[in-house]
Amino acid sequence: MKLAEDLKKAVLQAAMQGKLTKQLESDSNIFELLKTVEQTKKQLLERKEIKLEKFDDQVGDYDIPKNWAVVKLGTISGVITKQTGFDYTSHIKPFLVEEHKEDTIPMVQTKNFKGKKFDLETDYYIPLSIAENFPKIVLRGKCLLFSIVGASIGNVGLYDSDVLAMIGGAICKVSLIDPCFYDYLFYYLQSHEGYKQIMKNYKSTAQGTITVQDVREIDVLLPPIEEQQRIVEKLNQILPLIDEYGKEEDELITLCQKFPEEMKKSVLQSAMQGKLTKQLETDSSVDEMISSIQYEARLENCSEKLILDAMDFTLPDNWRFIKLNEIVRFVDYRGKTPHKINKGVFLITASNIKQGFMDYTRKEYISEEEYLDRMSRGVTRKGDLLFTTEAPMGNASICNLDKTSCGQRIITFQKYSDHSINLEYLMFCILSPDFQAELLDNATGTTAKGIKGKKLKHLLLPLPPIEEQQRIVEKLNTILPIIDSMSVYGTKKKAGRPKQEEALAFISSLLGTNKFTDSKSVSPEITELTSKAKVELPAIVQKYADLMGVTYNRITIRHQQTPWDSCTKTGNLTFNCLIMKMPETVRDYVIVHELAHRKELNHSTKFWTIVSEYCPWYKDSKQWLKDNGSSLLS
């Protein structure tokens, strides 16, 4: 829920409870005004200018200022009506046209109005000569309109124009006896109390409806006319400001939603240009590494002459451009469609491979026999890099399953040797904007883009020394989870900006300094706990992940003055190093809690059922955290 919407509701509700303006003794008596309305209505009935509309005039009890009144909307209205189905089918529909002409007037539908804004360039128009046969549903001057069918129920419009129009179906028109009530009622009906009154007789049919009779029986809280005017004046001042803020908030939310993706692209691109890490003289030689790979792979003549103009940026002196097939082995499983069964060897399909992580929501399997047959082309191993060639093209992630087979539209990249390339670096390289652009430039197809293996092999990538590849991976594994955490802003009811300390850590990690972090030096205890967590936690997390049948992407260990753990939608896990000071049962609960989010991204009953299955003692652990958590963080 956006703040502007919440603020608007709060202001309207305060106004309708008499809390936005003062109640003055000098105000006139609302009951006297209502007697005048009653007399006027009686006269209109006697002159047969309106018909008697029957409704239950018994009102409810409300906590309102003593000089306010409560009446039914039907009491202060002359006509509350709508277009009937018979009239529409027999006398209106045959004459509707789609183009506006001089002798036609617009037919207003629910989508044509919101509040005081009306769009009179409607889908249909009706000849004025026909509309005059239905004067009650013709819009002439000021009146209130209600949406009374479907999802738009509760949409209230205030029509105030000399332009003639006719209401379409699903709309109720309200004409008041005294026009002095219109502006106040317009705001009242948008308030929480007004909306509650509109919906109190809601009928849950196929589309959902309220009837004209229901509209007549809406309870209206009426202050003296002078206070009505003060309320309207105040709301006319405040609500446009809230609306303006709402526009700015929308822009901010849009920016915050776009920012993480754009920032991620920028960071990846900087990493692939050697701008994210330092180039050290102590790093090994890339040329020697390439020669070693050529020897291992029995390759000849890296295509240096084709590489020089390959990219529009300059590499650091100790980096080189290299073709993809000159740095990794291709294992391509294209061919006949595998026969899928309910249980067996897990079949990784293109839908499982995302940008930097694996998603096992969709599960498919093949038989052991088919697995052995398919693996004759090459065995996909844990730690290999998986790449999707089409539908979608360009996704890449590290394989984290011990035994699996890859389906169609997937290529497995394998290292020629342990010291040839860091496959996680290659994954980030593939996800970078320049490489993705190269993929598009070399892709084929119109509806679904794809790249042929022959072209893919000759695409170029920047190759730093193996030591700098590792530094880049470590830096990106620090930065990218924080960027992911920023993407929640504006997408959930309770979403907010990233924690200040995370944002500061993010800036620091980008700059490679601790300039923006806490000025206190890291204590030896924290250093020791962090090291211990990095060594011990991965095995514990993997143990519970296997038991629970879930996967995760990467683990980050931090020292933070915030909650113990987090799990992003992409499967990145973050743990506070201080969990190493907890009893093992509590530490394991923290781990199970986060892994359970890989099945349920909420704290629903289903979520806690999963937690209790693998951590029956979780309630004791929660209590321990409640009793001891604050002292552990301090």
Query: Is pLDDT above 50 for 1?
Result: no
Set out the domains of the chain in order of their start, with CATH numbers: 28-222 (3.90.220.20), 268-483 (3.90.220.20), 520-633 (3.30.2010.10)
pLDDT of residue 106: 95
Pair of tokens at residue 51:
């018909």
Query: CA 158, CA 627: separation in Å to the nearest integer?
Result: 56
Query: What does the pLDDT look like over 557-613, one tens digit per residue?
Result: 887 655 677 777 778 888 889 999 999 999 999 999 999 988 887 788 888 999 999
Average the pLDDT over each of 171-180, 184-193, 479-488, 623-632 and give the range with the smallest value.
479-488
Query: What does the pLDDT look like over 307-361, one tens digit per residue?
Result: 333 444 578 889 998 999 889 999 987 667 888 999 999 999 999 999 999 998 8
Question: Are 440 and 232 within 8 A, CB to CB?
Answer: no
Average the pLDDT over each of 446-455, 499-508, 544-553 and give the range with the smallest value.
499-508
Pair of tokens at residue 192:
């929480």
pLDDT of residue 290: 84
CA-only gyration radius of the chain, Å: 34
Residue whose token pair is 């709060």: 10
What is the crossing angle of helices 423-431 and 466-486, to 10°?
A: 50
Average pLDDT over residues 419-441: 91
Non-local CB neighbours of 554 within 8 Å, separated by 6+ positions:
477, 481, 572, 573
Query: Is pLDDT above 70 for 252?
Result: no
Query: Is pLDDT above 70 for 28?
Result: yes
The dihedral built from the CA positions of residue 552, 554, 557 and 561, taken in this order, carries a sign that is negative
Query: CA 187, CA 191: separation in Å to the nearest integer?
Result: 7
Three-state secondary structure call for residue 544: helix
Q: What are phi and psi of 590, to 5 degrees?
A: -60, -40
What is the crossing angle of helices 605-614 and 584-596, to 10°?
A: 140
State the number of CA atoms in the 13 A half-sphere of 186 facing the CB.
Answer: 23
**pLDDT category, 181, cuts 50, 70, 90?**
very high
Average pLDDT over residues 190-201: 90
Query: What does the pLDDT look like over 79-101, one tens digit per residue?
Result: 999 999 899 999 999 999 999 99
* Most confident range, picked from 175-184, 367-376, 492-501, 547-556: 175-184
Three-state secondary structure call for residue 609: helix
pLDDT of residue 257: 67
Q: Is the pTM of this model over 0.85?
A: no
**Edge to edge, what strands does the sheet with 345-348 contain?**
365-366, 345-348, 405-406
Query: Is pLDDT above 70 for 476?
Result: yes
587 burial level (CB within 10 Å; 0-12, 13-18, 19+): buried
**pLDDT category, 519, cuts 50, 70, 90?**
very low
**pLDDT category, 382, cuts 50, 70, 90?**
very high
Query: Is pLDDT above 70 for 293?
Result: yes
Query: Is pLDDT above 60 for 300?
Result: no
What percent of the chain has a predicted confidence (pLDDT) above 70?
A: 88
Strands (E), 195-262: 219-222
Q: What are phi and psi of 136, to 5 degrees?
A: -70, -25
**pLDDT category, 214, cuts 50, 70, 90?**
very high
**pLDDT category, 303, cuts 50, 70, 90?**
very low
Q: What is the mean pLDDT of the chain?
A: 85
* Most confident range, picked from 215-229, 284-298, 333-347: 215-229
Q: Which residue has the higher pLDDT, 227 or 241?
A: 227
**pLDDT category, 131, cuts 50, 70, 90?**
very high
Query: CA 139, CA 118: separation in Å to the nearest integer?
Result: 12
Query: CA 95, CA 591: separation in Å to the nearest integer?
Result: 68
> Residue type at 192?
H
State the number of CA atoms in the 13 A half-sphere of 388 facing the CB.
Answer: 22
Task: Look at phi and psi of residue 262 and say left if phi exceeds 0, alpha if psi is from -120 to 50, else beta.
Answer: alpha
Query: Is pLDDT above 70 for 294?
Result: yes
